[in-house]
């Protein structure tokens, strides 16, 4: 369990502060994360990595010469917000574009994707490589659905070594994708970890059992068995990974691989070495040549008891890049000449507190948006328990608490924005960031996406008309479906959002005034949310749990319909 | 708990094999431990470190350029044998002598001390610096009794950097002692670790409590309190360490220190960074300049939940040596040019299996010694539970099991030696090593010392006379008292050994035959062992437990008196 913290709310911020104090020679803090404190070659690609905190050395411990240029640090096990990603990228950018790399999780895909769009809009080329090394998380036919675990390191290292060697962004993307498709990992878990201040572990594995393929945040695995001997575990992991030799490699015999044996937190070094002994023998027996293996803690989950094995199938170029020197706080290799310290005044560090100028009409509209957010906060406050109960049937029961955390933060951010005369667009952007930051999880990400879509549509100049709002809501719907990859009928919030958005557009087009049109849309959303009870659940990462939700409305769809109903009152008062 | 192992008996050997397979570029295996696999400068001092296993990266992870030349690896939490230390030193020696450094524990002091004597006898200069950084383990007046914890690293690093810089052995000793006396640590524990295959943890701390100053093997600390906040822990540790500024430093204000914040196993990186944040603030407030701090896992105890803070008070020379580059599997600093691989055929690796030639009379005597060891094994087998029961009153109850493990190994080694025509001296040396290796702990070390004393006295040439045996037993008594620092009346095995040895010498001097003299000595030992029940216990590292033993005979004295009685039968049969 996690024992040492102050106020759990500040855990990540305080850990970051301590990390930067201990490693000032290599990293410095910027809003949203850390970047190198040493100078990089101008006009080289910047590699920015990131994800939730709690996985040290991933991600901040992997920033330094020869490795990443920056790391975006979300809350514990929660994606960073798009704004955080954007901030770190702006500060890390060396003029030749940014490669974003992170483990393939829904929230990260959403937020890094949004940040990428914004960077490109601002003229900074940006590409994404989401790491998909965990063979247990989806079949080979759905390889793009796999999540990223310890194989993160191989992709980050290759991308960074290529950037350091002066590769163009296109070339960095090419070798990073090659590394991604040639990296395969498989993990096991013996027990979960406890978030600071939490009463119980994030998940449990029954005593004496081992969960095979269970994810680093407790996502379901593929089987459960008795804890095996160290040798038997080595045999299990090696045999699974040798069943899936990546395309382009004829046979294991003669192939060159790097090997990562990773401890998740409380499976310790001596145990890992006992397992590695047998891994080394087995890979040798299979005819593989092992190149610069790593045995230790590379991607952890606080003090989770677990381990994973990664095979990284090399070619000549990847081997050269893998062996290139690096000097990050938690990963060092070879020898390199120390770069001089960076001059912070030369960095493009976004002023996250600045409020851009806005028109009077937009400032007035911002006040109405703030009232809508207040109404939203009230309705969520009243329904926290009910939303939690709905979510507990098929999920982890935190939908109510997550929504509450998000909307409280959004309301506070909006209040501050109003006091500083922000326009509607800026107020919504700040509220979106606050919601996504504080809520964490996928629902936080989705509400961040929706408020951001409204923000972009409304801007800080024009007076928003009903058509503006409807168009912003349509964009929110499209962005959620694009970023979140959810379709109508998947039993998610999309099932209420689509009829809401379409009814609103239709009614306005038919000549209804805003209040009437909104009321019709609210009814459509409420009916659709109830109807999700009849839908077959989306069988995603939580298949066994999702099946339990038959007969229960989707909590995300329910909370959406509650919120739009509450906003009716604000519209009617205009 | 420790989950991944095969046969627990092989845990350390298998971990070492895996470690060497993973780090072949930096280390190679020799009997007893590991040495650098890279070439060192000829005629430089070799720094050999070591201790029990289970503390990775201590000790093997700290071998490499700029750090140790070799590490001796004992069993889990048990000192290596003198033979292991000797072997590693012979292989690591670069022609300018050896510095031995290790944490100040009784077993290590014994075995490294014996190895030092043997090396000096063979013409290899050798000195010892036992690390004493743990302020909780004894008062400042008894600083030499303090144990070594994470501060091991500062002493090792300084010694190795000095050796690398070409310092003479005398100069290496000087700076290592300076580092030792300028290093202060304090640790806390929240829960113990479980040895592979053990049913329960080595020790427990009550849930929700923190043991202040508890040792890394569960040795008693100074107090117990509620688990504090991270900031309060930082304040506790810093305030204690600032109360003890080493001699020669006028005040904290303006002093330069390195800081190690060490996790023992399952207190993880993020927690350590949260604590470090406050440590950094507090040391800054006190006016200290922090130089190259380390936050991470430097000296662990498997997955023990605990942490320690070390302050290393620098002077100009120590700061330069602390900052010098190093490249070990688990500790890297700065940049250095990679040294070429070592040529193993040039190393002086002792052939641990060789049996030196012996005279016929010594070979015959060896058979009698073997019979005595068999009789010893039988009497221990019969009394394992009784010895365990006696030990459980004041100790951890493993005296019977430890003696049994030791004597079984010694008998097997002796049987093998007999089959290969070893002389009495060689047989006893091999039996001593096997006993110390397998028994572990202080009693294993002491029996190793005693059999080694007999080995040296008997040799492989002369026919042993009763006077030889008596003289060997006197040497055993002297060596145990010297190495073990135990006096008569300390309620240890010495209380039976002294009257046994003195009675035997007196009776032989008075003209008794060997059998009669031995019988008188046996009686003296038995009476003395019983009499230990009346003695006040030695108040050492386990003060609260030791007090419980009032009224109970010392198990070590009892087992000694049992053994010498059993040997009577062998003597009578001659």
What is the mean pLDDT of the segment spanning A240-265?
94
Query: Pick from B280, B302, B330: which is nearest to A18 by CB?
Result: B280
How many C-beta neighbours within 10 Å does residue A152 have? 29
pLDDT score of B540: 47
Residues 66-125 on A with a CB inside 8 Å of B are: none
Q: Which residues of A touch B307 (CB under 8 A)?
A: 4
Structural contact between residues A131 and A103, judged by C-beta atoms closer than 8 angstroms:
yes
pLDDT score of B541: 42
Residues 259-288 on A with a CB inside 8 Å of B are: 261, 265-278, 280
Share of chain B above pLDDT 70, in %: 97
End-to-end Cα separation, chain B, in angstroms: 51
pLDDT at B542 over 90: no
Domains of chain B: 8-175+182-324 (3.40.50.10440), 360-573 (1.25.40.340)
pLDDT score of A311: 98
pLDDT at A540 over 60: no
pLDDT score of B351: 82
pLDDT at B519 over 60: yes
Buried b (16+ CB within 10 A) or exposed e, A101-135: bbbbbbbbbbbbbbbbbbbeeeebbbbbbbbbbbb
Residues making up chain A, counted from first to last? 574
Q: Residues with Cβ < 8 Å from A427, sequence gap 6 or more? A: A366, A369, A370, A413, A414, A417, A418, A455
Query: For B56-188, where are the alpha helices, taking DSSP H only?
Result: 82-92, 106-121, 152-164, 169-181
Query: Active site residue: B217, B240, B280, B468, which one?
Result: B217
B28-69 confidence digits (pLDDT tens): 999 999 999 999 999 999 999 999 999 999 999 999 999 999
Q: Which residues of A touch B19 (CB under 8 A)?
A: 273, 276, 295
Q: Is the dihedral of CA A489, A494, A495, A501 positive or negative?
A: negative
Structural contact between residues A75 and A440, judged by C-beta atoms closer than 8 angstroms:
yes
Q: Which long-range contacts (CB under 8 A, 24 or more apart) does A353-360 make?
A: A355/A417, A355/A420, A355/A421, A355/A422, A355/A426, A356/A422, A356/A423, A356/A426, A356/A460, A357/A460, A358/A421, A358/A422, A358/A423, A358/A424, A358/A425, A358/A426, A358/A460, A358/A461, A359/A423, A359/A460, A359/A461, A359/A462, A359/A463
pLDDT score of B100: 98
Q: Residues with Cβ < 8 Å from A347, sequence gap 6 or more? A: A30, A35, A91
| Residue of chain B whose alpha carbon sits nearest to that of A190 | B3
Q: Considering chain A, what is the average pLDDT of its residues?
A: 92
* Edge-to-edge strand list for the sheet holding A46-53: A27-30, A33-36, A70-76, A46-53, A98-103, A126-131
Query: Active site residue: A69, A111, A217, A280, which one?
Result: A217
Q: Residues with Cβ < 8 Å from B251, sequence gap 6 or more? A: B245, B287
Distance CA B425, CA B430 (A): 9
CA proximity to B374, closest of B567, B153, B215:
B567
Q: Output phi, psi for A497, to 5 deg.
A: -70, -40
Confidence grade of residue B425 (pLDDT, cut at 50, 70, 90): very high
Asked casually if ipTM beats, i.e. exceeds, 0.85, the reply is: no
Residue B260 C-alpha, separation from nearest chain A C-alpha, in angstroms: 10
Q: Considering chain B, what is the average pLDDT of its residues?
A: 92
Confidence grade of residue A542 (pLDDT, cut at 50, 70, 90): very low
Is A55 assigned a catalytic role?
A: no
- Please report the DSSP string for A513-569 in residue order: -HHHHHHHHHHHHHHHHHHGGGSPPP-STTHHHHHHTTTS--HHHHHHHHHHHHHHH
Cis peptide upstream of residue B57 (ω within 30 degrees of 0): yes
Question: Which helix (H) or strand (E) element contains residue B370?
Answer: helix B360-394
Confidence grade of residue B224 (pLDDT, cut at 50, 70, 90): very high
Is residue A161 packed enough to be buried (19+ CB in 10 Å), middle (13-18) or exposed (0-12)? buried
pLDDT at A546 over 70: no
Residues making up chain B, counted from first to last? 574
pLDDT score of B125: 98
Distance CA A376, CA B231 (A): 37
Structural contact between residues B107 and B213, judged by C-beta atoms closer than 8 angstroms:
no
pLDDT score of B393: 79
Question: CA dist B454 to A146, A274, B37, B464, B495, Å?
Answer: 66, 37, 36, 10, 19
Q: Residues with Cβ < 8 Å from B24, sequence gap 6 or more? A: B37
pLDDT score of B440: 67
Structural contact between residues B225 and B212, judged by C-beta atoms closer than 8 angstroms:
yes
SS3 label, residue B347: coil
What is the mean pLDDT of the segment spanning B327-344?
89
B458-512 confidence digits (pLDDT tens): 989 899 999 999 999 999 999 888 777 788 988 899 999 999 999 999 999 999 9
Q: Residues with Cβ < 8 Å from B442, sequence gap 6 or more? A: B106, B107, B110, B484
What is the mean pLDDT of the segment spanning B103-124?
91
pLDDT score of A134: 97
pLDDT score of A562: 96
* Segments of B315-398 assigned E as strands: 326-328, 331-333
pLDDT at A485 over 80: no
A292 Rama class: left (phi>0) / alpha (psi -120 to 50) / beta: left
pLDDT score of A440: 67
Distance CA B316, CA B324 (A): 13
Q: Which residues of B touch A339 (CB under 8 A)?
A: none
**In this complex, is the C-beta atom of B472 within 8 Å of any C-beta atom belonging to chain A?**
no
Is residue A206 packed enough to be buried (19+ CB in 10 Å), middle (13-18) or exposed (0-12)? exposed
A89-133 confidence digits (pLDDT tens): 999 999 999 999 999 998 899 889 989 998 999 999 999 999 999
Residues 212-231 on A with a CB inside 8 Å of B are: 227, 229-231
SS3 label, residue B138: coil
Residue A313 C-alpha, separation from nearest chain B C-alpha, in angstroms: 17
pLDDT score of A548: 65
Structural contact between residues A20 and A34, judged by C-beta atoms closer than 8 angstroms:
yes
Task: Please indicate whether, in this complex, the C-beta atoms of A57 and B337 are within 8 angstroms of each other.
Answer: no
Confidence grade of residue A479 (pLDDT, cut at 50, 70, 90): confident
pLDDT at A547 over 70: no
Confidence grade of residue A168 (pLDDT, cut at 50, 70, 90): very high
Share of chain A above pLDDT 90, in %: 75
Q: What is the DSSP letter of A270?
A: H
The alpha carbon of A246 is separated from its chain's Cα centroid by a whole number of angstroms, namely: 26
Q: What is the DSSP letter of A63?
A: B
What is the mean pLDDT of the segment spanning A528-550?
68
CA proximity to A271, closest of B51, B200, B266, B11:
B11
The alpha carbon of B19 is separated from its chain's Cα centroid by a whole number of angstroms, namely: 21
pLDDT score of A203: 85
Half-sphere exposure of A216 (CA within 13 A, CB side): 37
Q: Which of A2, A22, A196 to mutate to test the interface with B (most CBs of B within 10 A)?
A: A22
pLDDT score of B68: 98
Residues 287-316 on B with a CB inside 8 Å of A are: 293-297, 300, 302-303, 305, 307
What is the mean pLDDT of the segment spanning B130-150?
95
């Amino acid at each position: 369990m996690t024992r040492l913290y102050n106020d759990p709310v500040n855990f990540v911020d305080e850990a970051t502060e301590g990390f930067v104090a201990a490693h000032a020679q290599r990293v410095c803090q910027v809003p949203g994360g850390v970047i190198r404190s040493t100078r990089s070659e101008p006009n080289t690609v910047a590699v920015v990595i990131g994800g939730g905190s709690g996985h040290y050395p991933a991600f901040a411990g992997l920033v330094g010469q020869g490795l990443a240029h920056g790391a975006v640090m979300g809350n514990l096990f929660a994606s960073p917000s798009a704004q955080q990603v954007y901030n770190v990228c702006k500060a890390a950018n060396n003029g030749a574009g940014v490669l974003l790399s992170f483990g393939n999780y829904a929230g990260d895909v959403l937020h890094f994707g949004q940040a990428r769009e914004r960077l490109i809009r601002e003229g900074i080329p940006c590409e994404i490589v989401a790491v998909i090394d965990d063979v247990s998380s989806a079949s080979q036919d759905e390889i793009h659905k796999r999540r990223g675990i310890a194989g993160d390191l191989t992709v980050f290292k290759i991308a960074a070594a290529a950037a350091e060697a002066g590769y163009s962004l296109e070339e960095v993307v090419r070798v990073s994708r090659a590394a991604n498709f040639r990296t395969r990992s498989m993990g096991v878990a013996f027990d979960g970890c406890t978030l600071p201040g939490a009463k119980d572990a994030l998940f449990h594995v029954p005593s004496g059992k081992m969960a095979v393929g269970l994810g680093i945040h407790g996502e379901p695995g593929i089987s459960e068995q008795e804890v095996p001997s160290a040798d038997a575990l080595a045999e299990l992991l090696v045999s699974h990974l040798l069943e899936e030799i990546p395309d382009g490699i004829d046979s294991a015999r003669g192939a060159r691989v790097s090997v990562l044996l990773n401890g998740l937190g409380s499976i310790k070094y001596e145990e890992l070495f006992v397992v590695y002994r047998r891994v080394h023998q087995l890979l040798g027996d299979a005819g593989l040549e092992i190149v610069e293996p790593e045995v230790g803690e590379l991607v952890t989950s606080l003090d989770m008891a677990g381990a994973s094995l990664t095979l990284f199938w090399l070619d000549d170029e990847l081997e050269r890049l893998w062996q290139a020197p690096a000097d990050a706080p938690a990963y060092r290799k070879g020898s390199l000449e120390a770069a001089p310290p960076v001059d912070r005044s030369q960095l493009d560090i976004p002023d996250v507190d600045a409020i851009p100028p806005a028109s009077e009409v937009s400032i007035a509209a911002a006040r109405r948006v703030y009232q809508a957010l207040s109404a939203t906060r009230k309705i969520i406050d009243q329904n926290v328990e009910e939303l939690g109960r709905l979510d507990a049937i098929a999920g982890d029961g935190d939908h109510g608490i997550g929504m509450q955390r998000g909307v409280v933060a959004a309301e506070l951010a909006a209040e501050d924005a109003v006091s500083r005369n922000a326009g509607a667009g800026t107020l919504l952007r700040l509220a979106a960031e606050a919601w996504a930051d504080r809520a964490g999880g996928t629902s936080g990400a989705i509400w961040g996406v929706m408020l951001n879509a409204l923000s972009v549509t409304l801007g800080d100049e024009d007076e928003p008309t009903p058509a503006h709002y409807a168009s912003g809501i349509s964009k929110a719907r499209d962005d959620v479906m694009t970023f979140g990859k959810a379709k109508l009928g998947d039993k998610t919030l999309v099932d209420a959002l689509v009829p809401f958005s379409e009814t609103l557009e239709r009614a306005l087009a038919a000549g209804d005034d805003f209040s009437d049109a909104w009321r019709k849309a609210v009814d459509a959303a409420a009916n659709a949310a109830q109807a999700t009870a009849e839908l077959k659940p989306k069988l995603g990462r939580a298949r066994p749990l999702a099946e339990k939700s038959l007969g229960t409305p989707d909590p995300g769809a329910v909370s959406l319909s509650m919120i739009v109903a509450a906003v009716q009152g604000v519209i009617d008062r205009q």
